[in-house]
Structures are given as C-alpha cells and as structure tokens.
C-alpha cells in the first residue's frame, strides 16, 4: 500500500487561491457515459455544517460519493482539498485515512457482527478516532446493545452506529447521506438529537437530506443543487425565509 504524502507547505489550487478547510473546485464526475456532477464548487469552513439540498436526481448523492473519492461516479476533472490535502489525487481509502468519513444512505452495517464488533472493525486501520467507550458515552443506547447483532438494531440505532463508526475513525469531515431516510417521524426526532450532539462537537459536516427543513434547522449554510450544479449558496436562514427558492428547487 502506498502511503499518503503530507506536503510541507500549503498548496495553491488550480484556481489560484489556498483552499478552505474543505473545498471542491470545478468537480465533474460520470457514471460511464452519464455526465452527472457538472462542475461543482464549494468551500466549507472548519466546524461548519452544510446542507446539500435539491430535488430527486439533482446529483446530491453522486456529489457526496465523488467528494469521498468512491470509484463511482468517476472523477473526470477538478480539485478536492481537505485541510491542504489533495483528495482528487487519492482513492476513497486514502481520503478516509485523512479524515473524510462518508456515512452512506444504507448505513453499511456489517451483518453477523455485534455493535461492538462493528465499531472495533472501524478501528482496524490507523489512525483511530474516538475510543469505543467515548462513543458509548455519546450514544448510551449503543453501549447497552454492545453484544447485540447490529442488523437487529432499529433504523435509528443503526444510524447512530453508522455515525459512531465514523467517529471511531480519524474524522475531520463527516459526509452524511440522507440520515433520516426510511425512519419514522419519532425516530427522525431522535436522529435530530444525535446530529445536534454531533454539531455541538464542532465536527465539520456536509449533510444530504430530502427532509430539507430538518437539514436546514441543523445546518449553518445551505447549498442547493440542480442538474448536477450548485445553484444557490447561502445561509440556512435565507433558504427558510425564501419560499420562492424552496418552491423552485426543493418543493417544500
Ligand atoms: N450508478 C449509477 N449509474 C448511472 N446513473 C446513476 C447512478 N446513480 C445515480 N445515477 C443518476 O445520477 C443522477 C443523480 O442521482 P443522485 O442519486 O446523485 O441524485 P440525488 O440528488 O441524490 O437524488 P435522490 O435524492 O433521489 O437520491 C440521477 O439521474 C441518477 O439516475
């Protein structure tokens, strides 16, 4: 395995300026011949929570996957920087080692393993993040279910475990894809509390969510996507106050 090089001086992006804590610049990505992510730009400050919103099929999940350097969709151009590291030159495992953790919509809970084993497995590769004890302090419900087969957890508990696994790894930025997906309203409230906890920890987060109002309540800033591009970048409050914008792009 090749090691990730840590540059000695701060880089300058192709657009000529030093990147923000996390930046994407002119990012394009394809599924085969399908051109989906069409020149995405974003800057995220350290500690900020950004909601990435848009209609079904706007390209939100594809953008998160591209930023996380998953093999699909395939990056065809642009730059992605995390804390002065060029993620666009890396594969997903290297980006994860540098602290980018993607929690996918299906949560990827490993079958046949307990809650504890799912967390232990997250710490197989260095560098580690939180200890499992600390994760159980944040999510006592997981601690109570340490020995339980993780696939028998409720949807909300599985979401907690997926976030817990990200905390167990080295975490500089958390990418959350539809954390409320498929959860009953009462569980959504529970996950909202979980995410408020994450927010209070000052973890830089990008959250993709169909439930735009829930995401906007949590986020400092909102990016709206349409047809694979960012069409709005402003505060969450601006989106909450702008019905026309919501009607045009979010249908909420
Ligand atoms: N594996 C794939 N192969 C080909 N096209 C894909 C693939 N995954 C997604 N797409 C297409 O990419 C476009 C953007 O999808 P994406 O899932 O990123 O949108 P989204 O904004 O997250 O929507 P949703 O909220 O419905 O999940 C859609 O037209 C979708 O059909």
The confidence score (pLDDT) of residue 235 equals: 95
Residue 77 confidence class, pLDDT cut points 50, 70, 90 = very high
Judge whether residue 3 has pLDDT over 60.
no
Residue boundaries of the structural domains of the chain: 22-249
* Closest protein CA for atom 17 of ligand 1: 61
* Cα atoms found within 13 Å of the Cα of residue 77, Cβ hemisphere only: 9
The pLDDT value recorded for residue 1 is 43
pLDDT, one tens digit per residue, over 186-199 is: 888 888 888 888 88
Ligand 1 centre to CA of 60 (Å) is 8
| Percentage above 70 pLDDT, the chain | 92
d(CA 168, CA 162): 10
Beta strand 204-208 with 49-53 is parallel
ipTM of this complex prediction, to 2 decimal places = 0.95
What per-residue confidence (pLDDT) applies to 16? Answer: 61
Pocket test for ligand 1, best of 28, 29, 34 (most atoms within 8 A of CB): 34
The CA distance from 96 to 68, in Å, is 8
Tell me, what's the pLDDT at 127? 85
Q: 151-184: per-residue pLDDT in tens?
A: 999 888 999 999 999 999 999 999 999 988 878 8
Query: Which range is least confidently modeled, 58-72, 123-137, 180-194, 212-226?
Result: 180-194
Task: Kindly tell me if the per-residue pLDDT of 35 is higher than 50.
Answer: yes
Ligand 1 pocket mutation pick from 28, 31, 250 by most atoms within 8 angstroms of CB: 31
- Ligand 1 centre to CA of 6 (Å) is 34
228 lines ligand 1 (CB under 6 A): no
Asked whether residue 51 carries a pLDDT value surpassing 90, the answer given is yes
Query: What pLDDT is attached to residue 252?
Result: 58
pTM: 0.90
> Is residue 52 lining ligand 1, measured as CB closer than 6 Å?
no
Mean pLDDT, rounded, for 138-155: 93
More confident site: 229 or 108: 229
Q: Concatenate the DSSP letters of all residues of 166-208 into one string.
A: HHHB--SEEEEE-TTTT--HHHHHHHHHHHHHHHHTT-EEEEE
Query: Is the Cβ atom of 59 under 6 angstroms away from ligand 1?
Result: yes
Q: What is the pLDDT of residue 110?
A: 80
Q: Which fold has domain 22-249?
A: Rossmann fold (3.40.50)
Question: Which pLDDT score is estimated for 2?
Answer: 44
Segment 78-101, tens digit of pLDDT: 999 999 999 999 999 999 999 999
Q: Is 54 in the pocket of ligand 1 (CB under 6 A)?
A: yes
């Amino acid at each position: 395995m090749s090691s990730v090089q840590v540059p000695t001086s701060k880089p300058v992006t192709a657009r000529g300026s030093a990147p923000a804590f996390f930046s994407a610049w002119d990012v394009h990505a394809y599924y085969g011949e399908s051109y989906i992510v069409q020149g995405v730009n974003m800057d995220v400050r350290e500690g900020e929570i950004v909601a990435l919103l848009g209609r079904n099929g706007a390209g939100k999940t594809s953008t998160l996957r591209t930023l996380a350097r998953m093999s699909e969709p395939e990056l065809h151009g642009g730059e992605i920087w995390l804390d002065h590291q060029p993620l666009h030159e890396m594969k997903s495992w290297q980006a994860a080692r540098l602290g980018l953790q993607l929690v996918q919509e299906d949560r990827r809970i490993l079958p046949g393993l307990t809650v504890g084993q799912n967390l232990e497995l997250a710490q197989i590769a260095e560098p580690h993040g939180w200890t499992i004890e600390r994760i159980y302090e944040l999510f006592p419900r997981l601690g109570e279910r340490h020995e339980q087969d993780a696939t028998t957890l409720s949807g909300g508990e599985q979401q907690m475990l997926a976030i817990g696994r990200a905390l167990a790894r080295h975490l500089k930025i958390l990418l959350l894809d539809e954390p409320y997906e498929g959860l009953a309203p009462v569980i959504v409230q529970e996950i909202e509390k979980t995410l408020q906890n994450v927010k209070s920890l000052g973890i830089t987060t990008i959250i993709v969510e169909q439930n735009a109002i829930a995401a906007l309540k949590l986020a400092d800033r909102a990016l709206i996507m349409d047809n694979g591009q960012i069409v709005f970048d402003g505060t969450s409050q601006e989106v909450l106050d702008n019905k026309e914008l919501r009607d045009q792009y979010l249908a909420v």
